[in-house]
Structure 1
Amino acid sequence: MRRERFEVRHIDLADADNDSEADRGPALTIFWWRDLPLGARASLGDELPYGTSQLRQLAAEYAAAQLQARSIGLGAPLRATYEGQPKPALLLETALEAQNLVEVLDAIAAPSSTSAQNISVVVCTRDRGPALSKCLGSLATQSCTPGEVVVVDNSPAGNAREICRQFPEFRYVHEPHAGLSRARNTGVQTSRFDIIAFTDDDVEAHPGWTSEIARAFVERDVEAFTGLVLPARLDTAAQCSFQFTIGGFGSTFVPLTFDGRFFEETRPSGAHVWKIGAGANMAFRRSVFERIGLFDERLGAGAAGCSEDSELWYRLLAVGGACLYEPRAVVFHHHRRDWSGLRRQIKAYMKGHVAALVTQYDKFGDRGNIVRIGKQLPVYFAKAFVKALFEGPPGRLGILAAEIQGWLAGLQFLLRFGWRRRRPPMGIAVTAEKGIMR
């Protein structure tokens, strides 16, 4: 999609007979059935608006996908494969045979009534005042109020304190030592409830976010959870590039279970745990941290770069755990608006990814992590260069250069033997509550 701006549009197929409100510009359309996200489609102006018959066909296709993914009688739950996508359980015609489309989707989309009072929501922030205010505003208007919201301010000066005063029902914790993993660990240690959910300060949560997390932990006996991350806006070329060229934070709209089979299937090439989800929308039972330890403070923003979330998922799967991806729980992410910010982000992502592969190899001895660093990533860079050279899109070479720079920066961790001997902090004993403002 070689356009500098896409409108992010939302269509509720339960109410829409046609798409007469659409303008003629490029758009990413998110399709819903009430509060259930069904799918997304990017379209150019001459492909819009969608007609009534086209919308009905989309509703039928999405209904079949949801039915096969959520009906135990039809093979659910779907387990993730090597590509991180579900294997089709049946044909569309079979899925919808003797089924009423509206009744099927209404039943699946029924809102959760599960209490979220056993959930601690942790938001880690550093010098993003306006974005944090929007994030906290979305958490203050959840349909099911969580047990608590803990804001961990990772700026040395405590710059988020004044913003948090606007939300007196939330808890403020100052963690002056830099690092997202350090901040998240502080959130875990100071939180009080059994389920700990994380989101970032550059997202806004859907009103049903906490209730859907609560429902997932009640209905499915899971230890870890991730949800759907949708773009909030695509107003700039950099935002569009992150969403369409890099792939955003994924686009799967059916639930998936990432378990031991997925881990073993992808292990020879460095288990593909980054496909499980994003740290901007994840949750864990407290027992996970008691069993496998906290976030590795060598990783994450403010340290190696990122991948502190995927490294924790790696540890969980390696010891026999599993993680549920449930797209009912939705947050909207504000992508980087400018090219320089996007390139810095991509460089940090790749640097952190390599660092996580090194730590995973050191802990479990899985050579697939080293194979990915030394073989698979260089092959990916070569293929991406050839494709970008002949096909574009604009800006792809700059992003690729940032990825290669991040990879080169990450190679240093192979030689930092003191760094490699450090281990993630174990246990979740509550620390002294200095810096906490209620």
Structure 2
Amino acid sequence: MSEDRDRTKPVLLHPVLPSSEVPTWPGAVWVGRLDLGASGVTDRDGYRLVGADGYRRARLAILRDRELSGFVEVDVHGDHLDGAEVSRAVAGLSPATGPRLRILNRDVARPVTVVVCTRDRVAMLRVALESILASDYPDFDVVVVDNASATDETRRYVDEFDDPRVRVVVEPRAGLSRARNAGLRAATGEIVAFTDDDVVVDSGWLGELTRAFDWDCSVACVCGIVPSGEIRTPAQAYFDQRVGWASSCTPRLFDLADPPADVPLFPFQVGIYGTGANFAVDRRTAASLGGFDEALGAGSPTDGGEDLDMFFRVLHAGRQLAYQPAAIVWHRHRADNAALAVQARGYGLGLGAWLCKIMLHPRTAGLAVRTAIVKVPTVVRLSRKLSVDVAPSRALADSLPPGIGAVELWSIAKGPAAYLRARREGRRRAPLEGLDDGCV
């Protein structure tokens, strides 16, 4: 982040996700942010990077008066960035082309409860919590959900936390959906924001999420952007190239009654909305939908898909979903190949399981079939594109597990069986259904 400085010295920039590990891979990219303020003018005196050892390139998120303009990559010279080089890169960013979104008038900030689900990862949780509590939003509290942990370390850490805004609840049954539902039950805020324990949130994260709820009176869910906070290893570089969480810096408003022309398989074209590491829901709407499906998500046989399911259900219920890239959460991707393979399998299983759920219910199955029939060429084209997207680049292929892309594709096919197995275990589709709002 930019800091005040002597005008004769370069601007000091810090990494968004500090790490004590120096990269040994030559393709590593240092990641930071640069807020240019309202003027939008870069500093030609240059920039000095903290923690730049081992990095040859740097990626900067460029913000103009807190609005995300895009990302640039430039060479690292020792521990410095050339100011003129950064200026040229920033000048090359395309201007935003999204629709003008009106803002409803609101005199006071709406109370927000932030839910962080975790399991035996106190070191990561500590970093995430510190960034959340540094938020400049005026009215929020934090619920840490300790989900089926093997020890009481998380509970002891939060109980000893010297901040009245933070509390811990325990969900002894394994599963991310169950943990998210426990967070919903414990939430007191009008809006419930979800993030993970392996992230750092931007200081304006909550403010930008809540602002997007005021784009229209029907907005019930807001997703933010989730850029890579660390690209230190080939596994992280592959994940950075693979996911679409940070592919767009243009605000969007999605409505089932007004399908976007550039999203032909809407609302089934996953990856355009966001991800579970950065989204917020209207608490009453989430309760009316019954909460998160326990058969989906990490810790269940399906290992994912609970976020996609919630986004879809919000839209299918006739509410709007907003995408607000100015709400930034930096994610620490899996750094080693073994963890990457597990994650690829989970993403495939979750997607396949969610599609199975869609096809098991007449209303959603009918919508899916009609969409697919009308857009057969698009389905074929996007299927081919997916097979290309999951394949690592030549520069990364030799450093990654063989067939890493195929792991995700094969796992999609296994998703339906995983979903049915989760149902047989008694995992409920809408566990909060029927609860009075005051109980949630």
The question of a shared fold, defined as TM-score above 0.5 by the shorter chain, is answered with yes
> Partner amino acid for 2:222?
F
Residue number in structure 2 paired with 1:294: 291
**Which residue of 1 is the match for residue 339 of structure 2?**
341
Q: Secondary structure at the match of 2:43?
A: coil
* Residue-by-residue CA offset, 1:287-333 (whole Å, 9 max, x unaligned): 21233221111000001111101111111212322100111211111
* Cross-structure match for 2:43: 17
Contact 2:295/2:427 (8 A) holds in 1: no
Q: Find the aligned partners of 1:325 and 1:174 in 2 and give their Cα distance.
A: 31
Separation of aligned partners in 2, 1:351 and 1:50: 44
Q: d(CA) in 2 for partners of 1:202 and 1:397?
A: 26
Flag structure 1 segments of 5+ consecutive residues without an equivalent.
Answer: 70-74, 79-107, 434-438
The answer (yes or no) to whether the contact 1:189–1:429 under 8 Å persists in 2 is no
Pair 1:76 & 2:103 matched: no
Partner Cα separation in structure 2 for residue 264 and residue 413 of structure 1: 33
Distance change >3 Å, CA 322–CA 415, structure 1 → 2: same
- 3-state DSSP of counterpart to 1:293: coil
Letter in 1 for 2:330: F
Specify the alignment match of 1:99 in structure 2. none
Q: How far 1:264 moved relative to its partner?
A: 9.3
| Inter-CA distance 163–369: structure 2 relative to 1 (3 Å threshold) | farther
Structure 1 pair 311–31 and aligned structure 2 pair: CA distance change class (3 A): same
The alignment status of 1:262 with 2:259, answered yes or no, reads: yes
1:424 counterpart residue number: 430
Q: Is the 8 A contact 1:113 1:211 kept in 2?
A: no
Trace 1:65-144 onto structure 2 (pairs within 5 A).
Answer: 65=96, 68-69=97-98, 75-77=99-101, 116=109, 118-144=111-137
CA spacing shift, 1:161–1:417, aligned 2, 3 Å: closer
Alignment length (residue pairs): 388
- What is the Cα deviation at residue 122 of structure 1? 0.8
The residue identity in structure 1 corresponding to 2:113 is S
- Percent pairwise identity: 30
User: Are 2:406 and 1:401 equivalent residues in the alignment?
Assistant: yes
The 10-residue stretch of structure 1 (299-308 or 287-296) with the greater mean CA deviation from structure 2: 287-296
Separation (CA, whole Å) in 2 of partners of 1:265 and 1:34? 28
- 1:150-209 deviations in Å (ceiling 9; x for gaps): 111103444311221342421110001000000001111111121111111111111111
Aligned-pair CA distance for 1:275: 1.7
Contact 1:30 1:40 in 2 (8 A): yes
Q: Which residue of 1 aligns with 2:369?
A: 367
Q: Give the aligned partner of residue 8 of structure 1.
A: 31
1:292-331 aligned at under 5 Å gives the runs 292-303=289-300, 304-331=302-329
Normalised by the length of structure 2, the TM-score is: 0.76
Q: Look up the match of 1:436.
A: none
The residue aligned with 1:95 is: none
The answer to whether residue 265 in structure 2 is matched with residue 271 in structure 1 is no
Query: Residue deviations 1:316-360, cap 9 Å, x none?
Result: 212322100111211111111111111111110110110011112
**Residue pairs, 1:238-257, within 5 angstroms:** 238-244=235-241, 246-247=242-243, 249-257=245-253
SS in 2 for 1:151: strand
Alignment of 1:348-387 (within 5 A): 348-363=346-361, 364-365=364-365, 366-367=368-369, 379=384, 383=388
Higher helix proportion (structure 1 or 2): 1
Contact 1:189 1:430 in 2 (8 A): no
Distance 1:292 1:34, change over 3 A: same
Change in Cα spacing, 1:53 to 1:179, as seen in structure 2 (3 Å) is: closer
- What letter corresponds to residue 429 of structure 2 in structure 1? R
Provide the rounded CA distance (Å) in 1 between the counterparts of 2:307 and 2:58: 31
Match of 2:87 among 55, 58, 61: 55
Q: Distance in 1 between matches of 2:220 and 2:275?
A: 16
Q: Which of 141, 145, 148 lines up with 1:155 in the alignment?
A: 148
3-state SS of 2:429 partner: coil
The normalised TM-score by structure 1 is 0.76
Give the drift of 1:38. 1.3
2:210 maps to which of 210, 214, 219:
214
- Conserved in 1, the CA contact under 8 Å of 2:387 and 2:409? no
Unaligned runs of 5+ in 2: 1-24
Check conservation: 1:115, 1:211, Cα contact below 8 A.
no
Tell me the distance in 1 between the aligned counterparts of 2:358 and 2:169. Answer: 30
The 2-side partners of 1:329 and 1:212 are apart by 5
Shift of 1:211: 1.9
